[in-house]
Amino acid sequence: MSSTLASAPVKISAATSADVIALAYANDGQDAFVLKSPGNLIKDIEKHFEINLLDELSFFSPKGKVGEIFEIPVSAKNSQTDRIYLTAIGDGATSSHRLAAAAVARKVRGKAVSVYTACAINKDDIKAHAISLTMGAYQWSLKSERPAGIPEFLVACDDKELIDAAQIVSKAIARARDLVHTPSNIKNPEWMASKAQEFAKSTGLKVKVLAGKELKEFGGLSAVGNSSPKPGPRFIEVTYTPKKMNKSAPALAHVVLVGKGITFDTGGVSLKRPYDLMIGMKSDMAGAAAVLATLTALEELQPLVRVTALMMCAENAISASAQRPSDVIQQYGGTTVEVIDTDAEGRLVLADGLAYADINLDPDYLVDIATLTGSATLSLGRQFAAMYTRDDALADVFIKAGTDSGDRVWRMPLVDDYKDALQSEIADLTHTAVKGGYSAGSVMAALFLERFSGNRRWLHLDIAGSGRSEVDAGENPKGGTGFGVRLLTQWIMTL
């Protein structure tokens, strides 16, 4: 369930019409705490409630740890407000604003309260704060008992467009999360296609779905997805074209995003071990969810660029029709691949998507995003995605988009010395390392994918760690994080 976000005037009258007023305090040097809010709000609030906020703060002996919140009961005539939250933003860095916003949101999650937040002053921080409010307040459940309500956030900001943009991104993140949270007995590749069609309805997004015999050339998607005969795999192509095509402008850049959409990953015949690892595998379509949700945001933001999302959707089931270790398959475009471990299914479906894009779509940028390897989590944990590209300029742009948006990426090397481990005696290549003993599972997967990217400006994001949270903390609920939506939207908006 996602909360609502709106801009509110930087005025005492707007603040006191909310149930809660959230204000920020920063640690500006040794133990000196300073209240930070736009305009004259601090002074006006102190006058209105006949209170001295710094005195109140010192009463609590704050440590100033980001997200630390003190709640002050207040009342005044002609005022709806009954609480003020004083929220620590630490050094005031944008990343601290995000954590502080998530902490405020968590305090009101599941409650029907209105919160006027005046916690940030500059535009980047306000936008980051706004999006993180909705991220922290997000809840998803199939419990029959529903939460009491959803909070409404009124962000003190006179720039309505800025908050509208934040609301669009917030909605898209919630959409991606909803898809990831949905259990795999409900979501299958056909369901993913129906969601794409539902989101595209009455918008300018176009959706094309291929299934059954139409997937003959998609050897990777078929080999993985035919393990689950009903309803079988789906290739879902979603296209965004800006409404205002400027005829005199140079041809628009074309971005193709390819997302891994494994609706459940048992590992196939190479069954996942230990079995507990399987529980999180309903999240193995987080890449496809991220690219679809990103397009819904772009449709509202209307950047002047063409974007195609390819959702490579299949279930990696274990059944009599499942592929076997030692099978040789033919990927889209003809490359033959010797299958070593059927649990490395993600790269097989992505390879079809990358080759399809290279052969048919003439992309200026080719970006894939996938919960691809446990190794990515081992090396970077859950706060950074592993990023691979040969293109230094593109890498820099993504690192910046990651820091600016909050979906952070870390550049990893495509180590040429390891390529020989993908040599097969009977096919063009193997899909996992058979020799060499290089380990580096995330690097090996990236080297495999690179073979299908043609000579495009290609970039690969391994979000195995960042796509799912195992704890309910900070911006993220336990489950799908929506990682990639902020990053891809930010990048495309600045293209």
Strand 458-462's sheet: what is its strand order?
Answer: 206-210, 234-240, 306-316, 254-265, 365-370, 458-462, 384-389, 408-411
Give the residue, chosen from 125, 152, 237, 265, that forms a contact with ligand BES under the rule CB under 6 A: 265
Give the residue, chosen from 125, 343, 462, 475, that forms a contact with Zn ion under the rule CB under 5 A: 343
DSSP E strand boundaries for 191-276 = 206-210, 234-240, 254-265
**Phi and psi at residue 396, to the nearest 5°:** -60, -40
Residue closer to Zn ion by CB (options 27, 222) is 222
**Active site members:** 272, 347
Residue closer to ligand BES by CB (options 242, 280) is 280
Chain mean position to CA 370: 11
Using CA atoms, how far apart are residues 54 and 187, in angstroms rounded to an integer? 51
Q: Interface with ligand BES includes 373 (CB under 6 A)?
A: yes
Site string (271-310) toward ligand BES, x via CB under 6 A = ---------x---x--------------------------
What letter would DSSP give residue 250? P
Site string (262-301) toward Zn ion, x via CB under 5 A = x--x------------------x-----------------
Give yes or no for a cis peptide into 147 (omega within 30° of 0).
no
Q: For residue 416, how many other CB atoms are within 10 A of its CB?
A: 8
Question: Under a CB-based contact definition with an 8 Å cutoff, are residues 472 and 382 in contact?
Answer: no
CB of 375 to ligand BES, least distance (A): 6
Q: Interface with ligand BES includes 92 (CB under 6 A)?
A: no
Q: Which stretch binds ligand BES (CB under 6 A): 80-88, 298-306, 338-346, 450-458?
A: 338-346
Give yes or no for a cis peptide into 274 (omega within 30° of 0).
yes
How many residues can be counted in the chain?
Answer: 495
Give the residue, chosen from 345, 352, 404, 475, that forms a contact with ligand BES under the rule CB under 6 A: 345
Cite the DSSP H helix spans in 121-269.
Answer: 123-137, 160-181, 189-200, 219-225
- Determine how β-strand 384-389 pairs with β-strand 20-27: unpaired
CB of 468 to ligand BES, least distance (A): 6
CB of 321 to ligand BES, least distance (A): 19
Q: Which stretch binds ligand BES (CB under 6 A): 1-9, 112-120, 131-139, 342-350?
A: 342-350
CB of 10 to Zn ion, least distance (A): 47
- 75-108 exposure pattern, b = at least 16 Cβ within 10 A, e = fewer: eeeebebebbbbbbbbebebbbbbbbbbbbbbbb
Q: Interface with ligand BES includes 341 (CB under 6 A)?
A: yes
Residue closer to ligand BES by CB (options 26, 344) is 344
Using CA atoms, how far apart are residues 195 and 200, in angstroms rounded to an integer? 8
Give the residue, chosen from 432, 466, 469, 476, that forms a contact with ligand BES under the rule CB under 6 A: 432
- 441: partner contacted, choices Zn ion, ligand BES, none (Cβ within 5-8 A by kind): ligand BES
Residues that bind Zn ion (CB under 5 A): 262, 265, 284, 343, 345-346
Residues that bind ligand BES (CB under 6 A): 265, 280, 284, 341, 343-346, 371-375, 377, 432, 441, 464
